[in-house]
Amino acid sequence: MNFKAIAHSKLNKKSGFTLIEVLIAMAVFSIGILAITGMQVTSIQGNQSARLRTEAVSYAAKHMDTLISNGYSAATDGSATEGLIDLEWEIFPNSPVNDAKTIVLTATWDDKWGAKNVTLRYIMYNPD
């Protein structure tokens, strides 16, 4: 085989991509990118929900500590708002036994998935 025949046979071989192959590859790539974008949006919403839950627990613990530090006789029902978190506490006297109060503090907030809440309970005994 001479040089011309080798060069001619290489020129006749098709190489590269057809337009259909490129379009299919772009469609598959676009679907993958859309799926990743959707996961990112869900992740951001989940992170916001977790942040609100963390804030709610933090505010509830802070208010519970304040109620406890005020003493047995000062513990009364009440409510407060901290940012997006609504706090409400109830005092149940003589619960679970005489000379004890049960404090039930509930933190409530709204996120993308609806209303959420967390509840803390503490039993305070009369030191007298």
Residue 2 domain-assigned (yes or no): no
pLDDT tens by residue, 80-95: 999 999 999 999 999 8
Instruction: Please check whether residue 64 is in contact with residue 105, taking contact to mean a CB–CB distance below 8 angstroms.
Output: yes
Residue 72 domain-assigned (yes or no): yes
Half-sphere CA count of 19, side-chain side, radius 13 A = 0
Domain that holds residue 32: 18-125
Q: Model confidence at 14, in pLDDT bands (50, 70, 90)?
A: low
pLDDT tens by residue, 63-78: 999 999 999 989 899 9
Residue 36 domain-assigned (yes or no): yes
Domain count, the chain: 1
Two structure tokens written together for 94: 């003589």
- Decide: helix, strand or coil at residue 13: coil
Q: What is the pLDDT of residue 112?
A: 83
Residue 47 domain-assigned (yes or no): yes
Q: What is the pLDDT of residue 128?
A: 77
